[in-house]
Amino acid sequence: MATYAVRPAVRCSLNFLLKGSAPCVRKTCLLSSSCAAKGYSSCRTFRSSASCCYSDSATADVHGSGDAVGHFDRQVQSGSLITDVQQRHVIQKLAHLQHTLKTYSNRIYLNPPTKKSKDASSPKKSCITTAEREEPIPPPPPPPPKGFYIYGDVGTGKTMLMDLFYSHVENSRKKRVHFNGFMLDIHKRIHRRKQSLPKRRLGKMFTYDPISPVAMEISSETCLLCFDEFQVTDIADAMILKQLFETMFKSGVVVVATSNRPPDDLYKNGLQRDTFLPFIDVLKEYCHTICLDSGIDYRRLDKPKAGKLYYLAGEPGAEAFLDALFEELTLRQKSVPGPRVLTVLGRDVTLEKTCGSIADCTFDELCSRPLGASDYLEMARLFDTVFIRHVPMLTLTLKDQARRFTTLIDNFYDNKVRVVLLAAAPLDRLFVHTGGEDERDRQLLDDLGLGEEAADRLTLFTAEEEIFAFQRTISRLREMQTESYWMEGDRSYRRRHMST
């Protein structure tokens, strides 16, 4: 077997990855039943983020009532969190909103008061004038609470603070979701509404705008939405965001979001950005903007490693280690290795080598095919460990693949999927800003009627968004190699202990 070809040092690392109930596993956070809420498959409750230097004990005792600031301070005192003045400032602001939301409901905004007319047909009131028939309009409800848009560099603690806030909000009508997953659900809802329309008759034209009804549908389900990684890279998303969010905001939905981008830089240099700019004004009107950027990427600070999970293609024994680890992990599965077909939005996606909750894939399988967030979310639902082999050095010529790889890691990270990688370059040199325009870019420029000057500005051609987003990918991959992440991602252990 391949196991016996692995060097002793590597075997020691493998033994750690395979060991059963390591002490730190007991710190794994429990999943809330709210994560089963319909429409948000990437929903999760508070967990320890790599945004801070701390062990997973920071996730304990988060489902009870209490103040988020008090919980934050206890983690600092215990040494699970490092003292960070900016982080405490942000959690103080979020704690005020937490207390407001305890008794908050947006139903009054869903059914605003209207004029009521007196019954003019009554014999006793036959002489009432038209003006007298109408009762005074009730005063409008007070404005809903303002949410927060928290932005800053990678690894500064944005997600951790939002999750800490979310876990302490005592309001059942709340949802926490990755922004990619949210927009995927929005497009599904829009599609369903369009499909339910009666067929048009020949020569009969009518228009139907499903965005506002979908926004009202979301508003009737929740009054707090927490978004991780708010970003806009897709023109289809950019064109609907203003109407979608303006309707939700006016319906009393409170939004708390994290992002690496300040509001004014969202969809920067995107196609038809002028039509997107009004959304930024709406966002600023309904959300306080906070910058959280202490200049520290806490994911870079030393944490216990989960053995060796990132191998270089030219490293002796690298392939053998991946083979041995896959073989050992599959011994715990109640199935045999083989291909698996995933059905996503009516499409079949085949993975050639899987076994139970383990998938052994190549980079081309995952990122060179036309896959997207919906495919990766389905993988995250089915697999807790994914091997990714033969990751190339990602140049600007491979920006499509780089986009998919970023989306893949975002969704895996958000769902605690464990990854083992075999790559062509070290992590900090995996994405290089070389290469550039290819034949498809030139063809698209011609199709859009754009010249070279426009291409120099648009992120579609400059890959500026990919460069920016890949910083987050590298930071997340670092955390995904830590002992705490690996053990927290053990779903079989989590299921056993949730049932006890």
Residue 253 sits in the same domain as residue 175: yes
Rounded average pLDDT over 469-493: 84
Question: What is the C-alpha separation between 462 and 269, in angstroms, rounded?
Answer: 10
Residue 315 sits in the same domain as residue 411: yes
Residue 330 sits in the same domain as residue 211: no
**Where residue 339 sits, what CATH number does that domain have?**
3.40.50
Rounded average pLDDT over 206-210: 75
Of 291, 324, 346, the residue that ends a domain is 291
pLDDT at 194 over 90: no
Of 262, 291, 320, the residue that ends a domain is 291
Residue 221 lies in a domain: yes
Residue 309 sits in the same domain as residue 368: yes
- Say what percent of the chain tops pLDDT 90: 42
Q: Which residue has the tokens 């995996």?
A: 430
pLDDT at 445 over 50: no
Count other Cβ atoms within 10 Å, centred on residue 368.
14
Confidence band (pLDDT; 50, 70, 90) for 423?
very high
Residue 21 lies in a domain: no
Tokens of 91: 């959690």
Residue 249 sits in the same domain as residue 379: no
Q: What is the pLDDT of residue 263?
A: 94
Residue 276 sits in the same domain as residue 405: no
pLDDT at 415 over 80: yes
The identity of residue 316, as a single letter, is P
Count other Cβ atoms within 10 Å, centred on residue 386.
24
Residue 287 sits in the same domain as residue 308: no
Residue 3 lies in a domain: no
Of 264, 291, 318, the residue that ends a domain is 291
Confidence band (pLDDT; 50, 70, 90) for 414?
confident
Q: What is the pLDDT of residue 14?
A: 60
Rounded average pLDDT over 120-133: 53
Confidence band (pLDDT; 50, 70, 90) for 150?
very high
Residue 26 lies in a domain: no
Lay out the sheet containing 147-151: strands in order across. Answer: 174-178, 224-228, 254-259, 147-151, 287-291
Q: What is the pLDDT of residue 35?
A: 37
Q: What residues make up the domain containing 254? A: 33-109+141-291
Residue 340 lies in a domain: yes
Residue 414 sits in the same domain as residue 459: yes
The more confident residue out of 189 and 124 is 189
**Where residue 240 sits, what CATH number does that domain have?**
3.40.50.300
Residues whose CB falls within 8 Å of the CB of residue 389, separated by 6 or more in sequence, listed in order: 319, 322, 360, 361, 362, 363, 421, 422
pLDDT at 478 over 70: yes
Residue 377 sits in the same domain as residue 286: no
Residue 115 lies in a domain: no
Residue 387 sits in the same domain as residue 445: yes
Total structural domains within the chain:
2
The more confident residue out of 83 and 382 is 382
Residue 196 lies in a domain: yes
Residue 277 sits in the same domain as residue 353: no
Residue 286 sits in the same domain as residue 402: no
Residue 166 lies in a domain: yes
